[in-house]
Amino acid sequence: MLTLLRAFAKSPWAIVIIGLLVLAFALTGVGGVFTGTGTAIAVVGNQQVSVSQFSRAFESEIRNIQQQDPTFTREQALAEERENQVLNRLIVLAAFSAKAEELGLSVSDQALLEAASQFDIFQDPATGDYSFAAGREYLRQLGYTPRQFEEELADDVLRAQFTSTLAGGISVPAEFASNRYRVTEERRSMRGLFIDASTADAIEPPTDEELQAFIDENRQATDQLGLPVFTGTELRGITLVRFQLDDFTANETVDEEPLREFYDYQLETGQIGTPATRGFLQLVVNDTETASQVVDRLTAGEVALDIANDLGLPAPFEQTESLAYQVPDQALADAVFAAAVGETIVVEGAFATYAVQVTSGTDAVTPSFQEQLPELRQAAAREQALDVMYNTMGLFQDALDSGATLEEAAAASGSPLEMFAPMDRVARGADREFNFPRYAALSADILPSAFDQFEGLATDMQQFNDTDFFIVRVDSIVESRDLELSEVREEAEILWRQSQIGIQLQARAEEALAQLEAGEDMDIVALTSGGRVETATLKRDESAGEFAGTVVREAFFAEPGQPVIASGTGDGLRVILVVDDIVHVDPAAAALGEMGLLSTTILGEMQEDMLIMTQAALLAEYGQDEEGGIDARLVDQALGRDSNANR
């Protein structure tokens, strides 16, 4: 609930919600929450997650995402299974609420009012006081009744009492921060003997027997994309019918007259162009005479706060880059937007008298009809194309429902029919060569659906982006098989050569290691092994030059003076490390405030761990730590989808 309110903090409607909150307090008191209506998706202790609560939370999740990505749709949210994330979150919140009530925690009216006072959206921008204007309509648009609003805010406060009690008793011993500082700031001076593939001896071509043995030993080998090298993956031949909006849009022409009407409508409703903005400083005064004095003093360059203190006025209020609708007093808005930047004026507002200085501003920019015409044509063509596409889809589906095959339904509706030779899940054919256009067009949605379908059967109509649809039929299945040497000779030889180089380098590294352990100088060993010596002094999370992160981390497990072969460098490189010195640090040398920041970080980590453990314990206590206990039928009802179809 609190997150929802903060998300709407800049809305012109948000400021009136406090009135509803106060009204709810006055009429109903605090009361209990989740009282139960027989619509419990999940029961958690003495709490319930209701259909209406889940539905509101899911729609709120979508709205919050759309604030960052306006193109995000409800269909995308369902495709990404966001509803499961939302439901899990509600179950966790219900578990905390249940335990809080079991422990006897309660919420007073004063606590609720104090919680409400933390929101800037409840402050009148003109006076800084709370606004008690009714906000029933806005709350209704969010899907809340006054009672639901009150209950969810009370539940937030109750949970906050419980979790703050859990986390509030944690303290961080000073030694924790000191140890963290010592570990993170410790450096190690190291030398590395690097022996790479350029030093390897020439390798004779492999025999067929050697290659076949290598293949048999490495059947599970994969390439850089994680695809099997020596195994042919399952292939499926498909027949596909796609309804793509772009295909229909290309054929649409648009009459200009309705576009002009739509352009006029957009102008009237402020949907196009850039609106004017103003930044202004205002002081609320008692009368026009005082306002005139303030204007004169502001014009003379006096500081607004000094003027307010001198005359006993409320503190000045400053707005930056405000739109006209964001100024709650219409008379004030009209005057401010009529004034020039730098002008200082007296305004008789609807609620008060103001002395106002306009500090900044931009004028509205309105594109002409001709400037908007390409965009208008595109939007209109898209709408017309949608109608045509849906009509075509209807004809196609009607034919299928009458018993027609894909081919017959495509012919009856004039839809294109596409047939593909067998390919794998990433659109590679029998030759295992990538076809990137085909991969981009099919692999995200269509092929996964095809690989979930039985041979000879077509899927239902499915949407695969915001506007397009498809039906796919599996015509043939080629089973996965071990590939023959003749099919993978090139890949096998490359990998075999890499392994042979690795064997050579490993032997050289082990020989060099023995020499170093015997006391020989690393520079001398480098000459005999064909390697090169590099040095560095680094912290455990640093890297530099030849010293990759994996090599540096190895150095922090090595004993000083003891040479080791670093792991994780691949077949083409071997590194023998020697740590010459450990550079310790004294926490007393930390920069001002650094230890405090470390303590704060550790405290946050400890509190998070505590809450995670508590969450797991509560879910286990209330039987919600495993799947089950959720009414899937009511979940579908809340989302407005067919329960039988999903089952």
Q: Please indicate whether residue 248 or residue 542 has the higher confidence score (pLDDT).
A: 542
pLDDT at 161: 74
One domain, residues 427 and 534: no
pLDDT at 25 over 70: no
- 321-337 per-position pLDDT tens digit: 888 878 888 899 999 99
Q: Which two tokens stand for residue 226?
A: 């994680």
Residue 262's contacts (CB-CB under 8 Å, 6 or more residues apart) are 376, 380
**d(C-alpha 481, C-alpha 234), whole Å:** 8
**d(C-alpha 314, C-alpha 320), whole Å:** 19
One domain, residues 440 and 464: yes
pLDDT at 571: 75
- 246-302 per-position pLDDT tens digit: 888 766 566 777 788 888 777 766 677 788 889 999 999 989 999 999 999 999 999
One domain, residues 158 and 218: no
Among 131-140, 291-300, 489-498, 631-640, the least confident range = 131-140
Among 276-280, 425-429, 447-451, 567-571, the least confident range = 567-571
pLDDT at 608 over 90: no
Helix, strand or coil for residue 283? strand
Provide the sign of the torsion angle of the four alpha carbons 322, 324, 325, 330, taken in this order: positive
One domain, residues 211 and 335: no
Stretch 371-392: mean pLDDT, rounded?
85
Helices (H) and strands (E) in the chain, counts: 25, 16
Among 371-380, 417-426, 540-549, the least confident range = 371-380
CB atoms within 10 A of CB 509: 22
pLDDT at 60: 83
Spell out the alpha helix ranges (H) of 402-484: 406-413, 436-442, 446-450
pLDDT at 180 over 70: yes
- 482-519 per-position pLDDT tens digit: 999 999 999 999 999 999 999 999 999 999 999 999 99
Let me know: does 249 contact 381? Beta carbons within 8 Å. Answer: yes
Dihedral in degrees, nearest 10, Cα atoms 576, 580, 586, 589:
-90
pLDDT at 219: 92
Q: Which domain holds residue 307?
A: 274-362
Residue 602 domain-assigned?
no
- 467-486 per-position pLDDT tens digit: 899 999 999 999 999 999 99
- Tokens 């005057």 found at: 335
Helix, strand or coil for residue 204? coil
The share of the chain scoring above pLDDT 90, in percent, equals: 45
Residue 200's contacts (CB-CB under 8 Å, 6 or more residues apart) are 501, 504, 505
User: Length of the chain in residues, anyone?
Assistant: 647
**d(C-alpha 302, C-alpha 295), whole Å:** 10
Residue 598 domain-assigned?
no
Let me know: does 509 contact 195? Beta carbons within 8 Å. Answer: yes
One domain, residues 530 and 563: yes
**d(C-alpha 105, C-alpha 159), whole Å:** 9
Check which CATH number belongs to the domain holding 45 and give it.
1.10.4030
**d(C-alpha 348, C-alpha 355), whole Å:** 9
* pTM beyond 0.75, yes or no: no
Residue 38's contacts (CB-CB under 8 Å, 6 or more residues apart) are none
Nearest Cα residue to 79 out of 468, 448, 460, 464: 464
Helix, strand or coil for residue 42? strand
Angstrom CA distances, 434 to 125, 248, 428, 452, 552, stand at 60, 29, 5, 22, 37
Q: Which two tokens stand for residue 389?
A: 């596409």
One domain, residues 46 and 154: yes
pLDDT at 252: 57
Stretch 400-410: mean pLDDT, rounded?
94
Residue 115 domain-assigned?
yes
* Residue 121 banded pLDDT, cuts 50, 70, 90: very low
Residue 448's contacts (CB-CB under 8 Å, 6 or more residues apart) are 425
One domain, residues 146 and 238: no
One domain, residues 221 and 239: no
Distance of CA 615 to the CA centre of its chain: 23
The share of the chain scoring above pLDDT 70, in percent, equals: 85
pLDDT at 31 over 50: no
One domain, residues 214 and 341: no
Stretch 581-587: mean pLDDT, rounded?
95
pLDDT at 341 over 90: yes
pLDDT at 375 over 90: no
pLDDT at 22: 30
DSSP result, 478-505:
E--EEPPHHHHHHHHHHHHHHHHHHHHH
Angstrom CA distances, 641 to 417, 422, 645, stand at 30, 34, 8
Residue 517 domain-assigned?
yes
Residue 593 domain-assigned?
no
Check which CATH number belongs to the domain holding 327 and give it.
3.10.50.40
* The total number of structural domains that make up the chain: 4
Q: Which two tokens stand for residue 51?
A: 């259909």
pLDDT at 627 over 70: no
One domain, residues 612 and 520: no
Residue 176 domain-assigned?
no
* Residue 145 banded pLDDT, cuts 50, 70, 90: low
DSSP at 198: G
One domain, residues 622 and 575: no
pLDDT at 270: 63
pLDDT at 433 over 70: yes
Residue 258 domain-assigned?
no
Q: Please indicate whether residue 150 or residue 243 has the higher confidence score (pLDDT).
A: 243
Last residue of a domain, one of 307, 327, 362: 362
Let me know: does 212 contact 482? Beta carbons within 8 Å. Answer: no
Q: Please indicate whether residue 159 or residue 596 has the higher confidence score (pLDDT).
A: 596
DSSP at 5: H
- Tokens 């920041």 found at: 597
**DSSP E strand boundaries for 513-565:** 532-539, 564-565
Q: Which two tokens stand for residue 53?
A: 């609560």
- Tokens 């993170």 found at: 184
Q: Which two tokens stand for residue 561?
A: 């003076």
Residue 182 domain-assigned?
no
Burial class (CB in 10 A: 0-12, 13-18, 19+), 192: buried
**d(C-alpha 188, C-alpha 552), whole Å:** 9
Check which CATH number belongs to the domain holding 436 and give it.
3.10.50
pLDDT at 134 over 80: no
Q: Please indicate whether residue 124 or residue 84 has the higher confidence score (pLDDT).
A: 84
Last residue of a domain, one of 464, 479, 494: 479
Provide the sign of the torsion angle of the four alpha carbons 320, 321, 322, 324, taken in this order: positive
Last residue of a domain, one of 305, 339, 362: 362
State which amino acid sits at residue 107: V
Q: Count CA atoms within 13 Å of residue 64 on its CB side.
A: 16
Among 41-50, 146-155, 588-597, 609-618, the least confident range = 146-155
pLDDT at 4: 35
* Residue 637 banded pLDDT, cuts 50, 70, 90: confident
**d(C-alpha 236, C-alpha 451), whole Å:** 7
- 416: phi then psi, degrees, rounded to nearest 5: -70, 140
- 116: phi then psi, degrees, rounded to nearest 5: -65, -35
- 62: phi then psi, degrees, rounded to nearest 5: -65, -45
One domain, residues 470 and 335: no
* Residue 9 banded pLDDT, cuts 50, 70, 90: very low
- 190-207 per-position pLDDT tens digit: 999 999 998 888 899 999
pLDDT at 46 over 50: yes
